[in-house]
Each structure stands twice: as C-alpha cells, then as structure tokens.
Amino acid sequence: MRIWVDADACPNVIKEILFRAAERARINLTLVANQPVRTPPSQYIKALQVPPGFDVADNKIVELTEAGDLVITADTAPAHLAGALGVPAWVALKYVPDWRWFLGRADSPWYPSLRLFRQAAPNDWASVFAVMESELRPLISHNP
C-alpha cells in the first residue's frame, strides 16, 4: 500500500502529521506537488514534483495510483477524480465543508470509494489525521 497526497493543497501542519504517521506505521507516503516540497529524511517519505499547470499534480496521482493504494486529500479536485475512477480516497474536510460534502456524513452519495473525515471543531486538523492514522493501522497490517 502507498499513500498519495496532493501536497499543493495540503497545509504544512497536515504534512507534519502525515510524516509522523508514515514513520510510525512504516508505510510509503508520496507528496505530489507543482513546487518543491520539503520532506524529512526517511525511507518511507518522498516528494514528486510535477510541471506547473491546472490539476497536473491531481492527474499524476490518479495516473500512478495502483490497486491497494490510498489517496488522501483536503482538495475537492483530486477527491472527485479519485471518486469518479473508483480509487479509494480519504478526504479531510473543514468544520464547515463545501456544500458538495453535506454535513454529518462519512460517505459520499456520488462516490462509494470516498471516505470523509471531518473536523470536530474549526481548525482541528490534528484530530482528523489522528483518526485517519488509527484507521490506517488495520489496512497496513493486511498489505505488504
């Protein structure tokens, strides 16, 4: 299993949480972005820089994703791309999300492959990614 992150739309605080989770869980994490992304020295974490352009990073993530991989994003575009292609994706949502994600749901009525993780309070990204990390553990134990 590999985890793909749209790093252009990912706040630094979330990247830090993902870095710690990747190290603890010993899972490959790739951040894809149109600009250079700093990553800590790690055998599990890497960055992939793509050319500038609208949705270039999103498209690269979809292109490289394989069976058993997981896309994590806080951006609507890669969530819709992954969902339309049936690629498993976890979407980190703000306390008051875009209308497309409704309220009080962990699923998407349009995309069965998406899972929605919501902030319990404004700007509470730490709890969103703590839940994601705990939910990753059983998946990782079943994937080489």
Q: How far apart are CA 81 and CA 39, in angstroms?
A: 25
Report which listed range, 23-37, 76-90, 129-143, is most confident: 23-37
The 10s digit of each residue's pLDDT in 38-67 is 999 999 999 999 999 988 998 899 889 888
Query: In this predicted structure, what is the pLDDT of residue 141?
Result: 63
- Residues linked to residue 33 through DSSP beta bridges, in sequence order: 49
Mean pLDDT of 12-35: 88
Q: How far apart are CA 129 and CA 64, in angstroms?
A: 23
Beta strands in the chain, from DSSP E residues, in sequence order: 2-6, 28-33, 45-49, 70-73, 89-93, 114-118
Contact indicator for 126, 117 with CB cutoff of 8 Å: no
Instruction: Report helix, strand or coil for 90.
Output: strand
Whether the per-residue pLDDT at 15 is higher than 90: the answer is no
Q: How far apart are CA 136 and CA 130, in angstroms?
A: 10
The 10s digit of each residue's pLDDT in 96-129 is 998 889 999 999 999 999 999 999 999 998 889 8
CB proximity list for 134: less than 8 A, separation 6 or greater: none
Q: How far apart are CA 3 and CA 129, in angstroms?
A: 13
Instruction: Report helix, strand or coil for 82.
Output: helix
Read off the pTM: 0.81
